[in-house]
Amino acid sequence: MSLNCNEINLIIEELSLDGAFIQDIIQPGFDTLALYTYKEGSAKTVLICTAQNSVRINETRRKITKNSKPLRFMEFLRSRIKGCRINRFYQIGLERVLKMELSHNQDEQFNLYIRLWNNAANVILCDENDLVLDTMFRRPDRYEVKDETFIPPAVIQEKYENADIRFPVRKWNEQLLDSNNPDFKPKSFNEFVDFWYSEFAQTLSRESLLEKAEKWYNTNLSKKESALNNLLSKKESFKNATELKHFGDLILAFGHQISPNSNFLECDDYETGKKVSIVINPKKTAQENAADYYRNYKKSLSGAQEIDHDIEIARIQIEKLNKQYEEIKNEKNPVKIEQLLRKDTTPKQKIKKNHPGLEYYDNGWTIYVGRDANENDELLRHHVRGEDLWMHVRDFPGGYVFVKAQKGKTVPLEILLDAGNLAVYYSKARNAGTTDLYYTHVKYLRRAKNGPKGLVLPTQEKNLCIKPDKNRLAKLDFLQKDSE
């Protein structure tokens, strides 16, 4: 349902914005804008949508959800026209181009143009001489960029002959016959337009968004389930860890039976009473072969412990994906659905990363983790300040962990324990059990003269003893994925 020129005039008449003030501006998406206006004790939210097949302007009483990050055009409009008085709001001829004349105490004047053409909709802010200040969509080929002159459409009276007959205002009672809510009786054309796009426009917006959501969900679920199955298969391969240790014991017990140049040790298993054949390296002694089996036993044992953590994280991610998809399916507001999809389908390579290493948001606190010397050095040089907290394990090489300071607040013990677990996990002490750490403020670190990259010497440090907690690490991994 595209609005025709006479319907736009009716909407403007019902809005009656002449003399109103713009109290706030919200941009929930790249193609949608909401102006919060106030006039003589009456507040109205004016929705402007420039999305193809959904181009419109109307008053809405629905909640306008904010974008997760402030968008460029919204911030610009807020800096220029928030608080402005709407002196006049009208359609230029019948060209579906609206002009809003604005002023700041008569000192500054602006013209806000709203073009409601299906394939070229735009919102353009100009000064009083129609010099473009900024636009919702920057289109150089149309001269809709900063410092160009916006040329409003010419008004040709001949084009408007019999316009009332050619472009009638649709009667909403007829349009609502097939509605799921036949008792709904809109009191104005604005209310009808708002209702129509939220109900009948499902095929134009919500249904297409839900199809996109289903495709996104199936693709991500397949990847995550495949990753989980790979982890479960890997866990199965670790189940013979105790067998490796037992083979090492057998090699030491029957090492005297090893034949020269033989790749196998044939002996009786004293636990089962059966004869077993154990692969060995004939170039090594019995003690060296046994040491190899013990070493592989420790690796498998360590891998089995870590794989349980990874499996738990994989299951949490699948559970989170299912919740996100349910939230999208249950959402009635297409603007909100688009926001949810935009957040979750942005390619990782397009997400701007402001610093190296990892970042966690933990109960209002931000934690940075450097995983190697380069990341440690970069974080120290450019991304932390004197009051931030630095943490590192004692007697083991590993990454630096930083807790960003908050003015007037001391880092809580729970945050220290979370940061400590991260410091242990990203160090050589990961499998060492209970580990000692030390921490201090960044301002008490000094670089080691002629030392390796990133090496620092702390002063005024405090001690912290950490027993690694898999539940904390699982929670932190979930928080990091959720923040992404």
Share of the chain above pLDDT 70, in %: 88
d(Cα 73, Cα 57) in Å, to the nearest integer?
18
* pLDDT single digits (tens) 364-373: 889 999 988 8
* pLDDT single digits (tens) 276-285: 999 999 889 9
Q: List the one residue out of 128, 89, 133, 79 whose CA is nearest residue 107.
A: 128
pLDDT at 343: 64
Among the listed ranges 34-38, 247-251, 358-362, 451-455, which one has the minimum average pLDDT value?
451-455
Q: Across the chain, what does the average pLDDT equal?
A: 85
Alpha-carbon separation of residue 312 from 88, 230, 241, 353 (angstroms): 61, 13, 21, 27
> Residue 431 in contact with residue 468, Cβ under 8 Å?
no
* pLDDT single digits (tens) 122-170: 999 999 999 999 999 999 988 999 999 999 988 777 777 777 778 888 7
Mean pLDDT confidence for 7-23: 94
pLDDT at 36: 96
- Of 255 and 238, the structure prediction assigns the larger pLDDT to 255
Asked whether the predicted pLDDT for residue 178 surpasses 70, the reply is no
d(Cα 209, Cα 341) in Å, to the nearest integer?
8
The torsion angles phi and psi of 240, rounded to 5 degrees, stand at: -90, 15
**HSE on the CB side for 477, CA within 13 Å?**
19
Mean pLDDT confidence for 441-446: 93
d(Cα 366, Cα 228) in Å, to the nearest integer?
29
Asked whether the predicted pLDDT for residue 117 surpasses 70, the reply is yes
Mean pLDDT confidence for 282-302: 86
> Residue 47 in contact with residue 23, Cβ under 8 Å?
no
Q: How confident is the model at residue 353 (pLDDT cuts 50, 70, 90)?
A: low
Residue 368 CA to its chain's centroid (Å): 17
pLDDT at 484: 47
- Of 408 and 181, the structure prediction assigns the larger pLDDT to 408
| Termini Cα distance of the chain | 37
Q: How confident is the model at residue 57 (pLDDT cuts 50, 70, 90)?
A: very high
Computed from CA positions of residues 141, 55, 123, 137, in that sequence, does the dihedral angle turn out positive or negative?
A: negative
Share of the chain above pLDDT 90, in %: 41
Q: List the one residue out of 116, 117, 114, 145 whose CA is nearest residue 131.
A: 145
Q: How confident is the model at residue 478 (pLDDT cuts 50, 70, 90)?
A: low
Mean pLDDT confidence for 11-28: 94
d(Cα 268, Cα 462) in Å, to the nearest integer?
56
Asked whether the predicted pLDDT for residue 182 surpasses 80, the reply is no
* pLDDT single digits (tens) 195-223: 777 665 543 456 667 778 888 899 889 98
Asked whether the predicted pLDDT for residue 349 surpasses 80, the reply is no
